[in-house]
Amino acid sequence: MDKLNVSVIGLGQMGAALARAYLQKDARVTVWNRSTGKATPLVEQGAELAPDLETAITASDLIIVCVADYATSDSLLKQPHVESLLKGRTLVQLTTGTRADAERSARWAADAGFQYLDGAIMDYPVVVGSNECLLLASGAQAVYERHEQALKVLGGRFTYVGEQPGAANVLDGGLLTIYYASAIGFMQSAGMMMAEHVTPETLKHALDAFKPVIDRTFEYCTDRISRREYAGTEASVHVHTLGVKSLLSRAKSAGIEHGLLQLFVDYLEKANEGGHEADELPAVFEAFRPRGTATV
Ligand SMILES: NC(=O)c1ccc[n+]([C@@H]2O[C@H](COP(=O)([O-])OP(=O)(O)OC[C@H]3O[C@@H](n4cnc5c(N)ncnc54)[C@H](OP(=O)(O)O)[C@@H]3O)[C@@H](O)[C@H]2O)c1
């Protein structure tokens, strides 16, 4: 099999991990970064440092970009002489951004005559290159399929999520919202536990046993939100409100930051005021339902 040829533009914490994953698979990896010093460890591992962006682009048919944001990427790539070098190649944009960023970039690629996939990396650099690493890609399916093998070097769970260029970025936003809510919820909880002389390790151990309850809640919410049907006989919004108010007063009396718990109480109160007192927890979704726009 021919040696895989790939260029990686952007060698921050994530870009360097992407390049490393290819080096570990013995690919021919050309790298470029604004600050050249960051390329040194990669060059020691066999990467070729391009003297300029143009050389990095012409070195490979597959170009992976991972920089701070789309404005940075645009400032580097949206130049007529760079666009003409991109012609006929494939650019995979792994910088975090929005649906609009991806759509604008896909139109730009089509006008400039190169193939384009937009993607999102759903894990940390240390996991990149492993079978567990989840990445998402969207754009033309034929382009994804052509590069699937090369992309899966970055993560065994590299997943194609659809033709719409923004699909990966949209899902990235959905997953990250849940990620931050959970992670910051963990910090809130760890503070409260510490005030009660319970270690973070003990909390984590208890959380592992509790995870099936969380999973079932997500499944239940998915079903109820889709059907907009909130009646049930398990636990009312009223009962949940009492429970969360108890958490709030525990945090307050321990002198712990409690803004997050106050927000939870506010959302539950909103559901009560909206007439959902006897309904179940998924009724809180009504506070988040997009108004006046077409939804699923
Ligand atoms: N780190 C993660 O765990 C993670 C996970 C998922 C997704 N991501 C996404 O991956 C992307 C990169 O993240 P990172 O962690 O690698 O960030 P980082 O370590 O801060 O690196 C930022 C990169 O952008 C470049 N850059 C910034 N401003 C620039 C400019 N004006 N001109 C040229 N290059 C510029 C930096 O170049 P210099 O080195 O010269 O400053 C560097 O290559 C982000 O969109 C991030 O959301 C990161």
Ligand 1: centre distance to CA 115 (Å): 23
Ligand 1: centre distance to CA 43 (Å): 19
Strand 115-121 and strand 90-93: the pairing is parallel
Residue 291: its pLDDT value, please?
A: 86
169: Cβ below 6 Å to ligand 1?
no
Residue 196: its pLDDT value, please?
A: 97
Cα–Cα distance measured from residue 167 to residue 140, given in angstroms and rounded to the nearest whole number: 11
60: Cβ below 6 Å to ligand 1?
no
Q: Please give the full DSSP string across 150-186, using - where no structure is assigned.
A: HHTTT-TEEEE--SSTTHHHHHHHHHHHHHHHHHHHH
Residue 292: its pLDDT value, please?
A: 74
Cα–Cα distance measured from residue 32 to residue 24, given in angstroms and rounded to the nearest whole number: 18
Q: Whose CA is nearest to atom 19 of ligand 1?
A: 12
Rounded to two decimals, the pTM is: 0.95
Ligand 1: centre distance to CA 111 (Å): 26
64: Cβ below 6 Å to ligand 1?
no
pLDDT digits (tens, 9 = 90+) for 123-177: 999 999 999 999 999 999 999 999 999 999 999 999 999 999 999 999 999 999 9
DSSP label of 114 = -
- CA–chain centroid gap for 19, Å, is 19
232: Cβ below 6 Å to ligand 1?
no
Q: Whose CA is nearest to atom 10 of ligand 1?
A: 95
- Average pLDDT per consecutive 10 residues, the chain (296 residues; last block may be shorter): 91 98 98 98 98 98 98 97 97 98 98 98 98 98 98 98 98 98 98 98 98 98 97 97 98 97 98 98 97 66
